[in-house]
Amino acid sequence: MLSSGDDLPESDSLISEIYRMRDYRPIWMENQIISDQARLFLRFIQDSEQDGLIPDDYHLSEIQKLISATDLPQTASNESHIQNLVDLDVLLTDALFRYSFHMSQGRVDPETVDALWLSLKPFENISDMIGNALHTRTLEDTLYRLKPTHSGYYRLREALRHYRNIYKNGGWPAIPAGDSIRPTDISDRIPAIRARLAITGDLHLSNQHASRTYDADMVQAVRRFQHRHGIDPDGVIGQNTLREMNITVNERIRQIEINLERWRWLSHDFGQKHILVNIADYSLTAVTGSDPVLSMRVVVGQAYRKTPVFSERLRYIVINPDWNIPEKIAIEDKLPIIKKNPEYLIRQNIHIYSGWDENAPEINPYTIDWSRINAEYFPYRLKQRPGAKNALGRIKFMFPNRFAVYLHDTPQRNLFNRTSRGFSSGCIRIEKPVDLAAYVLAGNPDWTADKIIKTIDSGKTMSISIPDIIMVHLLYWTAWVDTEGTVNFREDIYDRDRPLWEAIETARSLPVVMPGKISLNDRLLIKTGG
């Protein structure tokens, strides 16, 4: 049985075309014998499970049955044997295209699942690549090139293997609900928590015993668990920690598989210098080569003003920026405050202009009848001047994009001490703006960290172009493995995991069709039997 090809553009026509180009000669048979290339590809199908894929999506069971039938001494009619060879050839070809597209592009298109998720991968003509690989017999090398190249993908792949082993061994125990447990407390739940922490390696097996006391070794294990689940590592076993402990191993496996899918959406090359923002982790990492050189906490968009996912080149930074307040924010956030007290504008150094034209005249806020201003009638532009209270802080980092999102400093430094940091209107507020500016300007000897600080102190607005190619990648990972091998999980703050999993499951549940639909069996039969 062949899958319908819903996730593979015009699957039937692709397969027909590749056979037509071969004058309908079999791809996987040599003198009615299954080729070594076919058996090599079969190993890729079998190994696809390690990538979070499902081998039967590539007809593994059907292919194995047909191989078994064709490998046996012929007891059926020659016509039946030839038909098996034809079906096997077509199934392998369909599997090859399907596997190649899934491995190189992902099983679903992210833009069909989330309007705020732009595909981060440049177009590749997979059909031509596969056709050339078959012609030149370089299939193995080509299939390896289609896989993600990032070490983070392979670390997460290894985590999938580990968590599947945990599942095979029975998973971990559920911890009963109860009051928070603090260091030195005694609780009947402690032995179960010890067992839970030992299974995931947070607690060393030698420290797993029947004691009901929350001792120092266990406190360290709980802190490790909290750290890798994005919980304040205070060592207190509270409701958030218990909730994460009681997420089943099946759910963790699914979470890993979802994030492996996201890796397949990404470009193989992030750039020699690049900035990675993991929205779900509220973190930013600046990378040179493959080495992280700077990391910091960030504030991202609120649940109703989500930070989008995309990649773009950093073009320039602005020191001491002003802020043209977006109309949506001006109406929804600022207008209610202004109507209560117009002096808010003066205190926040916000000026009002009669329109969005740069030459629009400034208006005295006390001459406006604010009772008449509302969402339907707001003919003004609000502009906050540079200074200590400016919402963009002292530096903004610009990578022009359709979402008008950028990185910027913030005067609200206290927010970086929060564990959950979804407070912005979509832009990313960064903890260490001067350090990041020094990183992006490192190739310019005129811009040292000291000069950046002096320019900030001057109060003068200055725009500085970035000639180096530095990519900014806004990503969303709820499961990943860091360079030290620690498996991390994060709360799905924007509810992006569930719809992605549903899209994957929907794609798998679509109807199947017989190979005959491809309208080439008769011609292929002749070539196979001839």
By DSSP bridging, strand 283-288 and strand 291-301 are antiparallel
Q: Which residue has the tokens 């067992």?
A: 195
3-state secondary structure 87-121: HHHHHHHHHHHHHHHHHHHCCCCHHHHCCCECCEC
Q: Which residues contact 89 (CB under 8 A, 6 or more apart)?
A: 26, 27, 28, 29, 524, 528
Rounded Cα gap, residues 74 and 15, in angstroms: 28
Instruction: Record the tokens describing residue 204, joined without a space.
Output: 């060393």
Q: Return the active site residues.
A: 408, 427
d(CA 53, CA 458): 56
CA 149 from chain centre, in angstroms, equals: 15
Cβ(383)–Cβ(322) below 8 Å: yes
User: E strands along 289-421, which residues?
Assistant: 291-301, 310-313, 316-319, 323-324, 350-353, 362-363, 381-384, 395-398, 407-408
Are the C-beta atoms of residues 296 and 430 closer than 8 Å to each other?
A: yes
459: left (phi over 0), alpha (psi -120 to 50) or beta: left
For residue 246 the two structure tokens come to 């009681």
Place of tokens 């963790």: 252
Question: For residue 267, what are the CA distances in angstroms to 53, 106, 371?
Answer: 19, 12, 51
End-to-end CA distance of the chain: 25
C-alpha radius of gyration, the chain, whole number: 29
The pairing of beta strand 291-301 with beta strand 428-430: antiparallel
